[in-house]
Structure 1
Amino acid sequence: MRRKSVLYLDVAEQIKADIMNGTYPVGSLLPTEAELEQLFDVSKITVRRAIELLSSEELVEKKSGKGTTVLSNRPYNKLSKAGTFTEYLNDSGQKVSKKILNLEKMTFTPDSPVYQNLGEKGVKVSRLYTLDDQPYIYFNYFLPVSLSDVPLEAFEKESLYRLMDQHGIEIIKFEDSFQIVELTADQQKILATSEKSGLKRIRKSIGLSGKIVEFSEAIYNTALHPYVIEYEA
C-alpha cells in the first residue's frame, strides 16, 4: 500500500517496524532505493535520509554496489532519545577515530568496583579515541567472562554494543555518572596531555536479568573539547 507525503522519519519508522516483525530478516537486503521511493511515494533524498537514520542506529548497513543489508532487529543502542557523544562530534565535522589498545582476561579482587559489579572474572578492553588526530578519550571496558573468547579483531571491527548483542547480551538501560578527577601519570601519557584533571564517566549497562553486563570507565581530556549530551526534542 502506497503512502503519500511521508517524511523520512515516517519512512524510517515503517522500515524499522518491518525489520522488527521479520518482513526484512537479519542478513537480508532491503528493497532498492527506487523500490522504496515507489513504495512510499517519496523522493530519493527522503529515502536516503531514512536509510542513514537506520544506519546510525546500526540496524542496517549500506554498501555501494551491494545494497542495504539488515544487521540487527534489536535497536539496542537507542535506549533513550540521547544521541551518542561520538555522533555529536562526527556531526560537528570533527574527525573521530578509535583504536583498541589492549584486550585481556582478568580476575578482579573483592575490593575492586569491577568485582562488585561484574564478579570475580571478566574481560578488560582498553580503547583510545582521537579527535582530529589528538588523543581525547581513554576507555576501559569491563565485560562479562562470556566474551573472553572474542578475538581482538572483532572488537576492532564491530561496535561494542552490537558485539554484545551478537553474543546474546541484551541491554535495557544505562546508568552514567560523572566526576572530575586528577589524571594519573599513565593517563596523561596516553592522552598526551599535561593537564592535571579530566572528566571521568562511569557507565553501568543493565541487562534483561537486571544484572550489570558492562562496567566502563572513560577519561575525557575536556581541555581539548567539552563533553556534550545532545537530546532530541
Structure 2
Amino acid sequence: MSSPHPRLSARQPRYMIVAQALMHDIETGRHGVGSLLPTEAELGQQFNVSRHTVREAIRRLTDLGLVSAQAGVGTRVRAQRPVNHYALTAEGLSDLFRYAHEVALRIDSQEEIVADGALAAFLECPPGQKWLRLQGERFVRNEGESIGLAEIHVAASYRAALEDTNRPDAAIYALIERRFGVEVREVRQEISALALTAAQAKRLGVAPGSPGLRLVRKYYSSSGELFEVASNIHPADRFSYASTLRLRPTGESEN
C-alpha cells in the first residue's frame, strides 16, 4: 500500500487523504513523470475507497497540474510538484486591477515602434503613431515560476513613466497615473484560446501546441484615450478566470 503523506489527518475528507498520499508518491518518485497511475479500480482497492472518491482525488491532482486523464489511456503523471497557478475572480473593475497587483512583471525588452497596418487597428490609432513595446514574463508575487508571457504597448508620450525599470513596483497603468495623473476610466478585456507556438512553449517550459489563454486588456483614460494595451499569454493550467454576473432589476439604469 502507498506510504501515507506526512500531513494526512483522519479528519480530512477521504478523497483528500487519497490525493495527498498520491501526491507523496509522485513527489518521491514512486509514480514517475510520464508514467500512468494505477486504474480507478486498483486505487479503490489500494485505499479501500469507492471509485467516486478516487475520481475526486484525481480531479484534485489534475487541478494542481500533477496529472492529466485521457479516455482509453489512463491518468498520466505530468509533474513532480504542483504547477504554479493563478486564479482571478472578478466582480468589478477593482478586481481586474487586482491581477496587476498580485502578478509581478519582469520586463526583458523595451523598444519604440511605429504602429501600422494590423497593429495600428489593434491599438486603435492612426498608422504611423509611435508606441513603446515591452516584452517580458508574469510571475505570482513571491513565487518563482513564470505563469505567462507579457507584451504591453504604451503610448510613446508616456515613456517617462517607464524609465530605468525592468521590474516595475506597480502595474504599468499605475506608473502612468503616478507620473502623469492619467486616471483609468474604462478597461476592455478579451479572453481567447490559442495553441502555444514553439517559441512561446519553450519559454514557458511546456510542449509546443499546448493549450493556452490570451488575455488582452485595453486601458482608457477619462478623456477616452487608449494609452495602454496589455496582452498576456498563459498556459491553460496556470491561469483561470471566474466572474460573477448579477441580474439587474427591471427598469434600473445601466449607468
Q: What TM-score results when the alignment is normalised by the length of structure 1?
A: 0.54
Aligned to 1:173: 186
Describe the superposition over 1:101-142 as per-residue Cα deviations: whole angstroms up to 9, x where unpaired. 111111122222566424421011123123442221211110
User: Using the alignment, how far apart are the partners of 1:114 and 1:101 within structure 2?
Assistant: 25
Aligned to 2:175: 163
- Note the C-alpha offset of 1:156: 2.5
1:216 pairs, out of 189, 205, 230, with 230
Contact map agreement 2:108 2:166 (CA 8 A) in 1? no
Q: Which structure 2 residue ranges, 5 or more long, are not aligned?
A: 1-91, 246-255
Describe the superposition over 1:74-109 as per-residue Cα deviations: whole angstroms up to 9, x where unpaired. xxxxx7242545489x6xxxxx65311111111122
Query: What pairs with 1:1-233 in structure 2 (closer than 5 Å)?
Result: 80-82=93-95, 84=97, 86=99, 97-113=104-120, 116-119=123-126, 120-131=129-140, 132-149=143-160, 150-153=162-165, 156-165=168-177, 166-194=179-207, 196-229=210-243
Describe the superposition over 1:123-168 as per-residue Cα deviations: whole angstroms up to 9, x where unpaired. 1112312344222121111011112344132763343122111223
Which contiguous aligned blocks of 4+ residues in structure 1 show a shift greater than 4 angstroms? 113-116, 228-231
Compare CA radii of gyration and give the structure with the larger one: 2
Q: What TM-score results when the alignment is normalised by the length of structure 2?
A: 0.50
Distance 1:228 1:102, change over 3 A: farther
Q: Which structure 1 residue ranges, 5 or more long, are not aligned?
A: 1-78, 91-95
User: Using the alignment, how far apart are the partners of 1:148 and 1:81 within structure 2?
Assistant: 25
Contact map agreement 1:83 1:229 (CA 8 A) in 2? no
Give the AA of the match of 2:150. F
Alignment root-mean-square deviation, CA: 3.1
- Note the C-alpha offset of 1:171: 1.4
SS of alignment partner, residue 223 of structure 1: helix
Aligned residues: 149
**Identical counterparts, % of pairs:** 16
